[in-house]
Structure 1
Amino acid sequence: MLDQLLNQIRQCRVCEPELPLGANPVIQASESAKLMIIGQAPGTRVHKTSIPWNDPSGDRLRQWLELGKDAFYDPDNIAIMPMGLCYPGKAKSGDLPPRKECAPLWHQPVLNCLPNIGMTLLIGQYAQSYYLSDKPKTLTETVKQWEKWAPQYLPLPHPSPRNTLWLRKNPWFEEEVIPFIRRYVHQHLAIDPNTLDNHNSPNRA
């Protein structure tokens, strides 16, 4: 059932007239996945390769999870479903927001097929606004209150290099939130120890 749904999603062309590079929905999932990652929308590099988080933001995210690429891209452990499944195009600053059609159309059908998800990472304001009905107005305050929703939902800042200053100003995030997520990853995901990224500490550059 999930395979059929994923094929249907990857063939979706609902927003194609509005997409500058055309439709290419990017999603990763398996019925056995225990961790869900919901971010914003693919960038141009992800659009071209069809590989989620295949960019510097993904490098930092994998450092946060303390996972190498083999473990991160194993759908039996990790499901990846952004708010917008296709690259939305450029804005004056950064990319446009995720298309609003995707989440209402596809998220719940996918989640219905994933009974083992024990933690969902909500990366950025769009995912947090959609899934957290009682969240504060600012991302910083939302992330500070992470224990309110944990372990079901973990609100995170975007791991983009653009947020390096935010990470420096909020050291509590990598001191408190990241270890909590890593414990879940290491305890609940069936991961070969050789695929753990134990050599890289969180990127503070």
Structure 2
Amino acid sequence: MKELLQEISRCTVCSEHLELGPRPIVSGTIESKVVIIGQAPGTVVHRTGIPWDDKSGDNLRSWMGVDNDTFHNATKVGLVPMGFCYPGKGKSGDLPPRKECAPLWHNQLLKQMKNVELTILVGKYAQDYYLKEKSKRTLTETVHSFESYLPKYFVLPHPSPRNNIWQAKNEWFGKEVLPRLKEEINRLGLSS
């Protein structure tokens, strides 16, 4: 696993498309119990090199009921984005994750993470890639059907503060989905 992570850290496959250059950000070990598959690092994470080191990460940790130390303990939580590098700025937020990373690296990583009991798919890019035809038409429908993907996958919207409006419109998320997520995390012995 260590060698694979080192190889990923040197990846330059799509460097010509990355406005800030390559800086692959991923973590995990063969002991990881949970793997979180998100979108791609933002500018803060690109700068610090720490996965989910931003407001979205704060929200995700709160949703899960875990502290920073637990979340960043790779023997407990593997952090594998769809795109490992910051993809650049788009018209309304960041560009989508680069499409090269998942087919190139995900299988190799997940094969070595032999103890994963739960995979959390954060956002539509991860959900569409992993759920394929089982993904619903919209992210809202997919998240509303979260129980149908258990016990293997737990589906979530992106925890960006920009999604506060979505959460306000979908009160069931806070009432039904988040308590169940905390239950699953607690069941795996990861809660703070």
The TM-score range, normalised by the shorter chain, is over 0.9
For residues 131 and 80 of structure 2, the distance between their equivalents in structure 1, rounded to whole angstroms, comes to 17
1:188-199 correspondence runs (5 A):
188-189=188-189, 196=192
Q: Is the 8 A contact 1:167 1:173 kept in 2?
A: yes
1:70 maps onto 2:91 in alignment: no
For residues 168 and 96 of structure 1, the distance between their equivalents in structure 2, rounded to whole angstroms, comes to 25
For residues 92 and 188 of structure 1, the distance between their equivalents in structure 2, rounded to whole angstroms, comes to 40
Residues 92 and 190 of structure 1, relative CA distance in 2, 3 Å threshold: closer
For residues 24 and 186 of structure 2, the distance between their equivalents in structure 1, rounded to whole angstroms, comes to 29
Question: Quick one: which amino acid aligns to residue 33 of structure 1?
Answer: S
1:1-205 correspondence runs (5 A):
2-133=1-132, 134-189=134-189, 196=192
Q: Is the 8 A contact 1:77 1:189 kept in 2?
A: no
Give unmatched runs, 5+ long, in structure 1: 197-205
Give unmatched runs, 5+ long, in structure 2: none
Q: Is the 8 A contact 2:70 2:190 kept in 1?
A: no
RMSD: 1.0
4+ long deviations beyond 4 Å: none
Q: How many residues align?
A: 191
| 1:141 Cα deviation after fit | 0.4
- Which TM-score applies when normalising by structure 2? 0.96
| 1:172 Cα deviation after fit | 1.2
- Which TM-score applies when normalising by structure 1? 0.91
Query: Could you give the per-residue CA deviations for residues 12-40 of structure 1, whole angstroms, max 9, x where no partner exists?
Result: 01111111100000001011111110010
For residues 144 and 185 of structure 1, the distance between their equivalents in structure 2, rounded to whole angstroms, comes to 19
For residues 14 and 22 of structure 2, the distance between their equivalents in structure 1, rounded to whole angstroms, comes to 7
For residues 15 and 176 of structure 1, the distance between their equivalents in structure 2, rounded to whole angstroms, comes to 39
